[in-house]
Amino acid sequence: MISKSQLESEFLLVREKIFPRWDKDKVWSILFGNFTGSPGEEGCCVTESKVVHVAPFTAEWPREKRQALIIHEICHAVVGPGHAKKFLERMRKAAETAERHGLHNTAKHVLEDVVMYEQTPKTNAAEVYDLVQDWLIERPDLTASQIENALVRTYGLTNEQVRVRYPRILQVTEDVKSLYLNKNR
């Protein structure tokens, strides 16, 4: 388990070594803590507040894996939401930089993340709606907006693409919540 100051040190290392031109004014910060996202989500980048959040369970991870997560979230700060081509290119560049700085295991974890997203199979709408149902069964407090944002992160889409490709998200959310509420009465 690592402390908050150790987490901040990892963040500073990543910022200085991997992203030396990003956040020159040092306004971004990192926090352990709960954040609203899909169940099991490891981290998120909140550009409005300039905070990288990492889930508390990542404190148990090896340092290099956590650094790879920090790199992942900073890549979102640099290129925006989603895991499409531009994001994956920035991740590869970050892995190369990590390798040059001797952070070999960190680079390995970053590249594993890239490969995972590249190999994510295309899904059909029924599979996405099933995933949404699973999330809501686990976390009935999730809102439609939170689910949409989680799908953005999961599938590397924009919010608009999620709404166009999966127009029944709101209805599925309402149906599952209605069933959940009726079941627990």
Q: What is the pLDDT of residues 98-108, one digit of tens each?
A: 999 999 999 99
Task: Kindly report the backbone phi and psi dihedral angles of residue 182, in degrees, each rounded to the nearest multiple of 5, phi listed first.
Answer: -65, -35
**Structural contact between residues 81 and 158, judged by C-beta atoms closer than 8 angstroms:** yes
Closest CA to 159 of 174, 175, 141, 147: 147
Q: Which residue has the tokens 């290392």?
A: 13
Question: Looking at the whole model, is its pTM more than 0.85?
Answer: no
Rg (the chain; Cα; Å): 18
Q: What is the pLDDT of residues 43-80, one digit of tens each?
A: 888 888 999 999 888 989 999 999 999 999 999 999 98
Task: Look up residue 43 and give its two tokens.
Answer: 């981290």
Q: Which residue has the tokens 């790199």?
A: 71
| pLDDT number for residue 54 | 92
Q: Is the pLDDT of residue 176 over 60?
A: yes
| pLDDT number for residue 185 | 56
**Neighbour count for residue 114 (Cβ, 10 Å):** 21
In DSSP terms, 53 is beta-bridged to 31, 44
Closest CA to 10 of 103, 117, 143, 111: 103
Q: What is the pLDDT of residues 122-163, one digit of tens each?
A: 778 999 999 999 998 888 888 888 898 888 777 767 777 788
Q: Is the pLDDT of residue 39 over 60?
A: no
**Structural contact between residues 77 and 20, judged by C-beta atoms closer than 8 angstroms:** no
Closest CA to 180 of 147, 133, 146: 133
Q: Would you place residue 184 in the very low, low, confident or very high pLDDT band (cuts 50, 70, 90)?
A: low
Domain boundaries, the chain: 4-118, 125-180
CATH fold for the domain made of 4-118 = Zincin-like (3.30.2010)
Please give the mean pLDDT across all residues of the chain.
88
Q: Would you place residue 8 in the very low, low, confident or very high pLDDT band (cuts 50, 70, 90)?
A: very high
**Structural contact between residues 162 and 148, judged by C-beta atoms closer than 8 angstroms:** yes
In DSSP terms, 44 is beta-bridged to 53
Q: Would you place residue 34 in the very low, low, confident or very high pLDDT band (cuts 50, 70, 90)?
A: low
Q: Is the pLDDT of residue 37 over 60?
A: no
